[in-house]
């Protein structure tokens, strides 16, 4: 099972995305977002990116999702929708699950899968030697490079975040 751990985690990833795309109340959407965040962290860590995985947990789940949970709790309604309360929501969820199951069976059974791009069945998902150099890990060097060669990216993303806050305050301010 450990060879196919990335495949399993990816399937759980997609299932939790289906879970919140079928639009239950945002509280439950946040719940499956936590699951998908954790699973996504697992996928990244299996490729050797331990730092980035922990970053997902810390910043995404521990920062952004917490704030999201608080704001949703402030704006919640008396009877929030669950996946089984509304026929539409349940129908979409089951449809998404069905499509995922069919895709998984397709991947498991056939030699080569060519949906949008070709990859060779489950073999492509297994963890092989990812080819990072022996001395240092590629991923940490990437983060370090972000702050040296990639200073422009830091400036642009920092500015985008600042303007994002300004825009949101402006939009929700009203008159």
Residue pair 31/119 in contact (Cβ under 8 Å)? The answer is no
Binding flag, residue 110, other proteins (CB under 8 A): no
70 or 159: CB nearest other proteins: 159
Give the torsion sign (CA, 7, 13, 17, 19).
positive
Binding flag, residue 163, other proteins (CB under 8 A): yes
Binding flag, residue 116, other proteins (CB under 8 A): yes
# residues contacting other proteins (CB under 8 A): 16
59 or 105: CB nearest other proteins: 59
The C-alpha atoms of residue 56 and residue 34 are separated, in whole angstroms, by: 10
The one segment of 57-65, 72-80, 141-149, 157-165 that binds other proteins by CB under 8 A: 157-165
Tokens of 162: 């600042």
44 or 83: CB nearest other proteins: 44
φ/ψ of residue 112, rounded to 5: -135, 140
Strands (E), 26-151: 113-114, 118-119
Binding flag, residue 175, other proteins (CB under 8 A): yes
Binding flag, residue 91, other proteins (CB under 8 A): no
Binding flag, residue 117, other proteins (CB under 8 A): yes
Binding flag, residue 115, other proteins (CB under 8 A): no
The one segment of 11-19, 65-73, 90-98, 162-170 that binds other proteins by CB under 8 A: 162-170
111 or 175: CB nearest other proteins: 175
Other beta carbons within 10 angstroms of residue 107's beta carbon come to 20
The C-alpha atoms of residue 25 and residue 12 are separated, in whole angstroms, by: 20
Give buried/exposed letters for 74-83 (b at 16+ CB in 10 A, else e).
Answer: eeeeeeebeb
Interaction site with other proteins (CB under 8 A):
116-117, 152-153, 156-157, 159-160, 163-164, 166-167, 170-171, 174-175
């Amino acid at each position: 099972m450990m060879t196919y751990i990335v495949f399993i985690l990816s399937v759980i990833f997609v299932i939790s995305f289906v879970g919140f795309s079928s639009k239950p109340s945002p509280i439950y959407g946040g719940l499956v977002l936590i699951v998908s965040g954790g699973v996504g962290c697992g996928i990244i860590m299996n490729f050797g990116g331990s730092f980035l995985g922990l970053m997902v947990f810390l910043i995404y789940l521990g920062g952004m999702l917490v704030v999201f949970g608080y704001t949703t709790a402030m704006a919640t309604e008396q009877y929030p929708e669950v996946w089984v309360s509304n026929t539409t929501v349940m129908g979409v969820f089951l449809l998404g699950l069905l499509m995922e199951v069919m895709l998984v069976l397709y991947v498991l059974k056939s030699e080569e899968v060519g949906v949008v791009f070709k990859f060779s069945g489950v073999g492509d998902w297994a963890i092989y030697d990812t080819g990072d150099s022996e001395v240092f890990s590629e991923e940490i060097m990437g983060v370090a490079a972000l702050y040296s060669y990639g200073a422009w990216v830091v400036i642009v993303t920092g500015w985008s975040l600042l303007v994002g806050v300004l825009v949101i305050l402006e939009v929700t301010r009203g008159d």
